[in-house]
């Protein structure tokens, strides 16, 4: 018997089902692998640890009434948790749909959600009601009859105190003989994505959305029996039942006619992935055409136009296991490239580091550059595309390899590259908070590698942790302010005012070079603070002489260092910025070189 619902167990929407209770010939038929049902009083009780489940729920209930006055009489409890800090989902005596927290702090108004519209205004004799919870978001839902899809009656975006999971659900009035309202069916799913359970969608008709390839994301499709429109719902990841990340293959579309409507993250914001890319062969990528970007409620819900008959579609230009394999196959033949496994992820996937240098010259005589990519979601692995233009530049300028070593980790979060997701690791932690404590297999792999080098007398001179996120203006660097270098954090690291001033001067020179060569304009940058948590923080204090930055690559725009204007991100732009980044680093390093 399964005791969990997670990214491995869910293949189809029904795999989210927590339980179902159905009235059949006057008796309640119960089915669940996770809850037990007690009759007196009626209660559904979770049999496993709540940590085994997503912190989300969709509860759906079919109710039957004899006449509308049943809705406007007494309060009717559909389901509740009678614990002192529990909740109550009910119809009030005006027919409003209500969700209320029992613990009324801080005020009654803040502990209750009310549909405002009385159900008596629109429902038939058999109708559906329900709610969803994800984080602090609550939706109240209803459908006028059992077969209609649920509509959102009311939304509370920031409902403080909502339970993260529903371990106990008591349908108190299940067998209340005096009630003129009857519960015909009560079903719960471990996702707030209620749209997946509304039926009504047709069969595919020639056009299919597939995930049968390496690196494909999880998703669910709703077909409508034609090739006009397909709804794509992003699927479960490590912590949530939806994701920013999408990577699928569409076949049999009608070019410029088929439309794909993307239902992304539950919060309704584009956040990390506002633009999409498509490819015929997974090698050459183009920006997808968004016909519409939001739904009528203003939530991000892009409608994309099919650019071809068969194509890949992704929330970024993917660099995943397939791309890593291709690049390492190609590069391992080069005499100046060494490929090492420096650690393994939580799920034991190898983390690869490429070391680029001329091995005939001892490393202790060289300068050392470390670039890491992809601590987070697959969309953040964009920076790995910098590797090839950097290699091409070094091939043309081999003498540099006698003076520098470039260490490049294309993908840190290999598990997230494999499964897709929003960027935490399998332990549900943000690895970019785990460089000082809570060390993760991913961070300790990298730390140990560089610690070993330190023992051999090798210091890192320049470090960049490369991330990506869609809605940034161009590609911002995250830097420490000048004040940081004279502040208390680094008092013991920089041995005096002169040292600190030297570092500030070096930083400004680095920023100037990054703007000049890579288009990373100072005006676009973000001033970050030292948090004793991030990769950038670790390298900042472990190597006092080094430059240490984070870089956020926007997927929307970049500033072209040659044309001196903002342009749309594409594969060519990644080549330009990648090569420029290396040139800027090399220029900095040679300016620092003694003599």
What DSSP string runs through 229-262? EEEEEE---SS-SS-S--EEEEESPPTTT-EEEE
Contact present, 408 and 393 (Cβ < 8 Å)? no
Nearer to Zn ion, 162 or 275 (CB): 275
If you ran DSSP here, which 8-state letter would residue 191 be given?
A: -
Minimum distance of Zn ion from residue 469's CB (angstroms): 7
Tell me if 218 contacts Zn ion by CB under 5 A. Answer: no
Question: In terms of CB distance, is 260 or 553 closer to Zn ion?
Answer: 553
Backbone angles phi, psi at 90, to 5 degrees: -155, 170
Stretch that binds Zn ion, among 160-168, 209-217, 460-468, 584-592 (CB under 5 A): 460-468
Q: Which is nearer to Zn ion, 137 or 467 (CB)?
A: 467
In the complex, the smallest distance separating the C-beta of residue 423 from Zn ion, rounded to whole angstroms, is 6
CB of 348 to Zn ion, least distance (A): 23
Smallest distance, Å, CB 524 to Zn ion?
A: 17
Least Å from the CB of residue 249 to Zn ion: 26
Whether the Cβ atoms of residue 350 and residue 414 lie closer than 8 Å to each other: yes
Stretch in the footprint of Zn ion (CB under 5 A) among 185-193, 252-260, 376-384, 413-421: 376-384
Q: How far apart are CA 292 and CA 303, in angstroms?
A: 5
CB of 121 closer than 8 Å to CB of 68 = no
Alpha-carbon distance 549 to 520, whole Å? 12
- Cβ neighbours for 455, distance < 8 A, ≥ 6 positions apart: none
CB of 316 to Zn ion, least distance (A): 12
In angstroms, give the least distance from the CB of 156 to Zn ion. Answer: 29
Nearer to Zn ion, 137 or 376 (CB): 376
Q: How far apart are CA 127 and CA 212, in angstroms?
A: 38
The answer to whether 468 touches 569, Cβ cutoff 8 Å, is no
- What is the footprint of Zn ion within residues 159-188 (CB under 5 A)? none
Instruction: Quote the least distance from Cβ 487 to Zn ion, whole Å.
Output: 25
In the complex with Zn ion, which residue's Cβ is closer, 331 or 466? 466
Give the span between the Cα atoms of 319 and 352, in whole angstroms: 13
Question: What tokens were used for 434?
Answer: 């785990």
Q: 284 Cβ partners below 8 Å, 6+ apart?
A: 571
Which CB, 217 or 536, lies closer to Zn ion?
A: 536
> Which of these segments, 155-163, 377-385, 509-517, 526-534, binds Zn ion (CB under 5 A)?
377-385
Q: Which stretch binds Zn ion (CB under 5 A): 242-250, 370-378, 384-392, 520-528?
A: 370-378
Give me the sign of the Cα torsion angle 63, 66, 68, 69.
negative
Give the DSSP H/E element, type plus range, for residue 155.
strand 151-156
Cβ distance to Zn ion smaller for residue 215 or 378: 378
Distance CA 353, CA 447 (A): 12
The SS3 of residue 358 is: coil
For the chain, the 3-state helix, strand and coil shares in percent, each to the nearest 5, are 25, 30, 45
**Adjacency order of strands within the sheet including 43-46:** 35-38, 43-46, 168-169
Nearer to Zn ion, 302 or 469 (CB): 469
Please identify, using beta-carbon distances, which residue of 352 and 467 lies nearer to Zn ion: 467
Interface characters, 65-84, with Zn ion (x: CB under 5 A): --------------------
Alpha-carbon span 272 to 470, nearest angstrom: 5
CB of 403 to Zn ion, least distance (A): 31
Structure tokens at 340: 């090492």
Q: How far is the CB of 21 from Zn ion (least distance, A)?
A: 42
SS3 state of residue 111: helix
Integer Cα distance of 367 and 461 in angstroms: 6
Q: Interacting stretch for Zn ion, rule CB under 5 A, among 2-10, 277-285, 379-387, 543-551?
A: 379-387
Measured from the CB atom, the residue of 349 and 376 that comes closer to Zn ion is: 376
DSSP state of 346: T
Q: How far is the CB of 467 from Zn ion (least distance, A)?
A: 3
3-state secondary structure 388-445: HHHHHHHHHCHHHHHCEEEEEECCCCHHHHHHCCCCCCCCCCCHHHCCCCCCCHHHHH
Kindly state the number of chain residues that form the binding site for Zn ion, as judged by CB under 5 A: 3
Instruction: Identify whether the C-beta of residue 276 lies closer than 8 Å to the C-beta of residue 314.
Output: yes
Closer Cβ to Zn ion, 241 or 422, answer by number: 422
Q: Footprint of Zn ion on residues 84-123 (CB under 5 A)?
A: none
Per CB under 5 A, the segment of 43-51, 332-340, 380-388, 573-581 that binds Zn ion is: 380-388
Listed ranges 13-21, 324-332, 368-376, 403-411: which one lies at the site for Zn ion (CB under 5 A): 368-376
Interface stretch with Zn ion, choices 79-87, 298-306, 369-377, 438-446 (CB under 5 A): 369-377
We find the least distance from the C-beta atom of residue 385 to Zn ion, in angstroms, to be 16
Query: In this chain, which residue has its C-beta nearest to Zn ion?
Result: 467
**368 or 376, CB closer to Zn ion?**
376
Q: How far is the CB of 388 from Zn ion (least distance, A)?
A: 22
Of 96, 376, 433, 521, the residue at the interface with Zn ion (CB under 5 A) is 376
Binders of Zn ion among residues 462 to 481 (CB under 5 A) are 467
Contact 422, 237 (CB under 8 A): yes
Nearer of residues 259 and 475 to Zn ion, judged by Cβ: 475
Tokens of residue 175, six digits: 């067998």
Rounded to the nearest whole angstrom, what is the least distance from the CB of residue 588 to Zn ion in the complex?
A: 24
CA dist., res. 266 & res. 302, Å (int): 14
Closest to Zn ion by CB, 380 vs 579, is 380
Binding stretches for Zn ion (CB under 5 A): 376, 380, 467
């Amino acid at each position: 018997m399964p005791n969990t619902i997670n990214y491995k167990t869910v293949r189809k929407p029904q795999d989210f089902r927590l339980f179902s209770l159905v009235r059949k010939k006057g008796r309640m038929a119960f089915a669940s692998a996770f809850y037990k049902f007690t009759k007196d009083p009626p209660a559904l009780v979770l049999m496993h640890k709540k940590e085994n489940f997503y912190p989300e729920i969709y509860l759906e209930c079919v109710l039957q009434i004899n006449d509308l006055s049943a809705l406007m009489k007494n309060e009717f409890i559909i389901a509740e948790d009678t614990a002192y800090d529990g909740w109550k989902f009910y119809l009030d005596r005006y027919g409003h749909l209500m969700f209320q927290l029992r613990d009324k702090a801080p005020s009654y108004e803040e502990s209750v959600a009310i549909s405002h519209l009385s159900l008596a205004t629109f429902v038939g004799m058999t109708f559906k009601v329900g709610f969803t919870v994800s984080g602090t978001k609550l939706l109240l839902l209803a459908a006028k009859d059992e077969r209609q899809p649920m509509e959102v009656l009311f939304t509370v975006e920031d409902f403080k105190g909502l339970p993260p999971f529903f371990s106990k659900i008591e349908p108190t009035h299940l067998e209340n003989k005096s009630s003129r309202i009857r519960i015909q069916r009560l079903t719960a799913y471990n996702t707030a994505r209620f749209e997946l359970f509304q039926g009504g969608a047709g069969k595919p008709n020639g056009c299919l959305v597939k995930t049968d390839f390496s690196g494909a994301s999880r998703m669910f499709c709703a077909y409508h029996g034609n090739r006009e429109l397909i709804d794509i719902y992003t699927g479960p990841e490590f912590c949530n039942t939806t994701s920013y990340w999408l990577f699928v293959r569409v076949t049999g579309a009608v070019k410029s006619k088929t439309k794909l409507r993307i239902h992304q993250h539950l919060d309704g914001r584009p956040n990390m992935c506002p633009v999409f890319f498509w490819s015929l062969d997974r090698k050459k990528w183009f920006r997808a055409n968004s016909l519409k970007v939001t739904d009528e409620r203003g939530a991000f819900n892009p409608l994309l136009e099919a650019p071809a008959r068969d194509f890949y579609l992704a929330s970024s230009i993917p660099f995943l296991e397939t791309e890593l394999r291709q690049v390492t196959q190609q590069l391992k033949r080069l005499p100046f490239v060494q490929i090492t496994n420096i650690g393994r992820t939580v799920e034991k996937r190898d983390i690869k580091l490429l070391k680029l240098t001329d091995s005939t010259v001892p490393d202790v005589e060289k300068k050392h550059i470390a670039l890491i990519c992809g601590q987070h979601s697959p969309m953040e692995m964009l920076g790995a595309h910098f590797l090839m233009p950097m290699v091409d530049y070094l091939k043309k300028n081999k003498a540099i390899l006698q003076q520098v070593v470039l260490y490049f980790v294309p993908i840190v979060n290999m598990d997230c590259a494999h499964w897709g997701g929003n960027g935490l690791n399998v332990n549900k932690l943000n690895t970019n908070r785990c460089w000082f404590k809570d060390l993760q297999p991913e961070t300790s792999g990298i730390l140990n590698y560089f610690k070993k080098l330190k023992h051999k007398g090798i210091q890192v001179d320049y470090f960049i942790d490369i991330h990506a996120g869609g809605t940034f203006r161009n590609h911002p660097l995250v830097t420490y302010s000048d004040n940081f270098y004279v502040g208390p954090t680094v008092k013991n690291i920089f041995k005096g005012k002169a040292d600190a001033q030297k570092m500030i001067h070096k930083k400004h020179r680095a920023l100037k070079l990054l703007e000049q060569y890579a288009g990373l304009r100072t005006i676009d940058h973000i001033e970050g603070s030292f948090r004793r948590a991030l990769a950038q923080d670790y390298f900042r204090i472990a190597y006092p002489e080094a430059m240490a930055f984070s870089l956020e690559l926007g997927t929307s725009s970049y500033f072209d260092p040659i044309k001196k204007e903002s342009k749309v991100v594409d594969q060519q732009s990644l080549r330009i910025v990648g090569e420029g980044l290396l040139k800027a680093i090399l220029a900095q390093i040679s300016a620092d070189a003694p003599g």
